[in-house]
Amino acid sequence: MQYQNIAPFINRQEEIDYLNTWLSEAPNYILFLYGPKSSGKTTLIYNFIQTYLSDPSKYSVKHFNLREVLISSYEDFLQQFFRIEDPEDRDSILTREYNLKVFRLTVETQKRIKDRQLDPFNVMKKELMELNNQDIQPIIIIDELQALDFVYFNSQRELIKELINFFVAMTKESHLCHVLLSSSDGYFIEKLYNDSKLKKTSELFEVDYLPKEDIVYWLSNLEKESRIKDFELTDTQIEYIWEHFGGSIWEISSVLGQFLKVCKNNQVPDKKMQEVVHRYMLQARSYFEEYAALDVPRTELLKEIDKYVQDKGFVKEANLWRLLNEGYFAGKQEVQEELHYLVQQNFLYYNPALAEYRLQGRSMEIGLDMFVQELEV
């Protein structure tokens, strides 16, 4: 089937260069990708693997996208990360592509892990060493790492900490394997940083929304990049879209889908475009209404956030002292809990490297400002 409005892959050259440089150096630290929701982390990872890591005689990629699976126990983790290779079953050995994605186990090894005679991390290490001996570069990639939070290991130890310790050993200490971890949960990354010995053993790399020039390029080349033939956008319209959605590719894709329904004579009439875009902004505003209507502390919090975001693009916890001073919140912890909730709801994005909060995208920024402006009428 030939779809119109297909998922394109725009630019990301800087990020790809960064990843290639990282890969060309001996493994020395854990690399963390983070960024706002739907900024394109997963897409970047898939694209990078496909384009640069597809040669099995050079690379062995162990890629786990934990969004696709449910891991609620240590047993689930074993099942997702390891696969049994039955020496009798030639098919399972021959389907290399499948086997390359996970760590391999014999039935015997699996049994010993289950009986707790063998540590799964030792099994992983052994395979990584073998790959190194064969001159194959192993790369472990875990997307949506926060899915492993709250999973325990031998009932006491936190699996995530064991894994991180293992990754530190594999990178910084023995240089056996490149490790790339990704999450859009800034709090989770910060917690890991504070709990584990990550500060000196890892690097953070942000995958942000696309910059303006990429969005302008994309929207000026809709047929080539997205196979959209039914309309073209004018420069003013492209500017208008950028102004309302910034570099949020995911939202813009969705808006383009709406435009397909209202376009005429190879154009999207301005009035229709404004209606479509306005609906998105009203939706964003209503999120804040539902959150804060008739709730004085929450409304005051949103007013403060809006003030700083309009001015600087972000807000920091320390900016919010007025809320305590004027008695809207009892203490620091109450403010933090509220911010936490806003992050969980994907209203706010928390950047752990800068300890800054931003809105999850330009449309949310506009929605918040609409909410705050209307309070004053």
Ligand X SMILES: Nc1ncnc2c1ncn2[C@@H]1O[C@H](COP(=O)(O)OP(=O)(O)OP(=O)(O)O)[C@@H](O)[C@H]1O
Residue with the CB atom nearest Mg ion in the bound state: 42
Given Mg ion, ligand X, none, residue 8, with its beta carbon under 5 to 8 Å by kind, binds ligand X
- Residue 7 or residue 93: which is nearer to ligand X going by CB? 7
Residue with the CB atom nearest ligand X in the bound state: 40
Q: How far is the CB of 322 from ligand X (least distance, A)?
A: 32
Q: Contact, 141 vs 170, CB < 8 A?
A: no
Alpha carbons 104 and 276: distance in angstroms, whole number: 51
Q: How far is the CB of 33 from ligand X (least distance, A)?
A: 9
- The identity of residue 221, as a single letter, is N
**DSSP letter (8 states) at residue 349:** E
Is residue 99 involved in binding Mg ion (CB under 5 A)? Answer: no
Q: How far is the CB of 359 from ligand X (least distance, A)?
A: 15
Given ligand X, Mg ion, none, residue 40, with its beta carbon under 5 to 8 Å by kind, binds ligand X
- Phi/psi region, residue 10 (left: phi>0; alpha: psi -120 to 50; beta: rest), is beta
CA 232 from chain center: how many Å?
A: 31
- Residue 205 or residue 250: which is nearer to ligand X going by CB? 250
Q: How far is the CB of 56 from ligand X (least distance, A)?
A: 24
The candidate with the shortest Cα–Cα distance to 127, out of 116, 115, 117, 139, is 139
Site for Mg ion in 12-41 (CB under 5 A): 41
Alpha carbons 257 and 259: distance in angstroms, whole number: 5
Alpha carbons 330 and 13: distance in angstroms, whole number: 47
Beta-bridged to residue 233, according to DSSP, are: none
Terminal Cα distance for the chain, rounded: 51
In this structure, is the dihedral angle defined by the CA atoms of residues 332, 337, 342 and 346, taken in order, positive or negative? positive
- Residue 40 or residue 120: which is nearer to ligand X going by CB? 40
Given ligand X, Mg ion, none, residue 9, with its beta carbon under 5 to 8 Å by kind, binds ligand X
Site for Mg ion in 216-275 (CB under 5 A): none
Alpha carbons 244 and 181: distance in angstroms, whole number: 31
Alpha carbons 181 and 49: distance in angstroms, whole number: 14
Q: How far is the CB of 6 from ligand X (least distance, A)?
A: 9
Structure tokens belonging to residue 354: 């800068």
Positions in the binding site for ligand X (CB under 6 A): 7-10, 12, 35, 37-43, 184, 249-250, 253
- Residue 221 or residue 319: which is nearer to ligand X going by CB? 221
Given ligand X, Mg ion, none, residue 352, with its beta carbon under 5 to 8 Å by kind, binds none
Structure tokens belonging to residue 302: 């949103």
Of 4, 5, 11, 42, the one binding Mg ion by CB under 5 A: 42
Q: Contact, 165 vs 195, CB < 8 A?
A: no
Given Mg ion, ligand X, none, residue 249, with its beta carbon under 5 to 8 Å by kind, binds ligand X
- Residue 144 or residue 304: which is nearer to ligand X going by CB? 144
Q: How far is the CB of 221 from ligand X (least distance, A)?
A: 12
Alpha carbons 63 and 102: distance in angstroms, whole number: 7
Given ligand X, Mg ion, none, residue 247, with its beta carbon under 5 to 8 Å by kind, binds none
Q: How far is the CB of 209 from ligand X (least distance, A)?
A: 9
| Interacting residues with Mg ion (CB under 5 A) | 41-42
